Amino acid sequence: MAEARLTASHGGNRAAATRLINRINTIVADVAITRAQKIHELQDKIESLEEKMATIANIDNAIQDELDPEDVQAEIEAADTNNQTYRDARAGFTFQLKTLQDEEAAANAILALTTAPVVPAAAATPGPSATLRVFFPPGLV
């Protein structure tokens, strides 16, 4: 019974991870979303995907604990094959997020340079240390 419950939970979490991947793909492809919005959404969804991947890994381990020893190797191989899809997706999304963040930083730097106020240099005024002092030897004055 525990194995059936774990298997059902496993399937539900995999389906949720797949929905997250599809949602992230939609966000990346949506040209109506600003770069800043994409960065925010990607950070949030990648974090959710990582949490879902951790849950799936925990369920994989629990399922393996319930299996007969001769079935464990096949289960590990099947789980690894399936989980590789999530790892690959996360790596691709993380790369896209980093690229967007770099583009945003570059755009902000250019904007800061083009909108920075130009302050004219102040005319140099001599300070107290710039006063010319003439010293005469005693007896000349």
Question: Can you give the pLDDT at residue 42?
Answer: 97
- pLDDT, tens digit, 9 for 90 and up, residues 49-91: 999 999 999 999 999 888 888 888 998 998 999 899 999 999 9
Q: Rounded CA gap, 11 and 6, in Å?
A: 9
Neighbours of 43 (CB within 10 A): 15
Confidence band of 121 (pLDDT split at 50, 70, 90): low
Q: Which of 31, 56, 45, 34 is nearest to 90 (CA)?
A: 45
Q: Do residues 86 and 53 touch, judged by C-beta distance below 8 A? A: yes
pLDDT at position 118 over 90: no
Tell me what the mean pLDDT of segment 10-35 comes to: 95
Contact 24, 46 (CB under 8 A): yes
**Is the pLDDT reported for residue 135 higher than 70?**
no
- At 30-49, the pLDDT tens digits run 999 999 999 999 999 999 99
Q: What is the mean pLDDT of the chain?
A: 87
